[in-house]
Chains A and B, each alone.
Chain A
Amino acid sequence: MLQKTIQAGSLPALEAMMRFTGQRQRLLAHNIANLTTPDFQAKDVSPQGFQEMLGEAVAKRRKRTGGVDGGLDMRGSREVKVRRDGSLSFRPSDSGGVLLHDRNNRDVERLMQDMTENYGMYRVANDLMRARMGVLRTAISQRVG
């Protein structure tokens, strides 16, 4: 029953997103720190790929329990492996696949944008999880205000 309470509603999805964005932040900071390093190849994991994987797991969970409780069963992708305890291990690929004629110029702005978006998503997941946990705690304590 404890497990069901902790995995209620949207909490597993929020936890997964928090793990992903938290780990990706380190990757992006590494890329930005090496902006002027010669022969440095920036690497990244695709957030769209992770969201697809998360979407599949959420759909499976909804079919299984109606989305009310239960853990997420993520199958993992080439870039993101999911361990048993839910933690993730990254295998980042080279970012910037197609070599555009202005690739050198766009790296700075795109890197900053990636970092901003990643942090934004982390904040959203974090705040939503805190709100959801707050409601849970209110329900458990049975006293409001």
Chain B
Amino acid sequence: MFGSLDISTSGMVAQRIRLTAASANIAGANVVEDQYGNYAPFLRREVMLASGDPSATSRDGQSLGVHVREVYQNPDALRARYMPSSPHADENGYVMGPDISSVAEQVDAMEASRAYEANVAAAEVSKAMLAQALRLIA
């Protein structure tokens, strides 16, 4: 009876994780070292979504819906940045830093937020349909 609610909830959870990843990427766009000063460039977080939600309780929710397969830290999302004063710079003054564009991440965040709203709207529709069906016996 509530399979569609399961599906919408899984969508909300997935979009929230995408939003979190976009926020993390924006925050770490210029990070090249960790708290101890070692060379540890921030790797761009990429959220891998897959269909189906194994943690749902209803059958519909398990086969339909969406879940986060993994949050992949992309080791190739690096580009050379000119930072001659950094202790990690090579002989030309370049450091391999994160290849993150704040603008692109912001667009991702907006898209995730709109998708979240869309899932909430779908859940509301499911609830309204249930209420309508109950009017049959009112």
Contact = CB atoms under 8 A, between A and B. Distances in A.
Do A and B bind? yes
Contact of A127 (B5, B20, B57, B137): B137
A112 B9 CA distance: 9
A102 B9 contact: no
B134 A124 contact: yes
Contacts of A112: 9
Contact of B137 (A117, A120, A128): A128
A30 interface: no
Contacts of A36: none
A63 B103 CA distance: 67
A100 interface: yes
Interface stretch (B10-18, B28-36, B73-81, B90-98): B10-18
B72 interface: no
B9 A105 contact: no
A113 interface: yes
B2 A102 contact: no
Nearest to A107: B13
A113 B6 contact: yes
B132 to A, nearest CB: 12
A130 B137 CA distance: 9
Contact of B123 (A116, A124, A127, A128): A116
Contacts of A100: 55
B127 interface: yes
A79 B12 CA distance: 30
By secondary structure, the A interface counts as helix
A120 B20 contact: no
Contacts of A98: 55
A122 to B, nearest CB: 11
B130 interface: yes
Contact of B17 (A105, A116, A121, A123): A105
A102 B6 contact: no
Nearest to B119: A109
Interface of A: 48, 98, 100-102, 105-106, 109-110, 112-113, 116-117, 120-121, 123-124, 127-128, 130-131
20 contacts: A100-B55, A102-B13, A102-B17, A105-B16, A105-B20, A109-B12, A109-B13, A110-B13, A112-B9, A113-B8, A113-B9, A116-B5, A116-B123, A120-B127, A120-B130, A121-B1, A123-B131, A127-B134, A130-B137, A131-B137
Q: Which 10 pairs, one residue from A and one from B, show the smallest C-beta to C-beta distance?
A: A131-B137, A113-B9, A109-B12, A106-B13, A117-B2, A109-B9, A127-B134, A127-B137, A105-B16, A109-B13
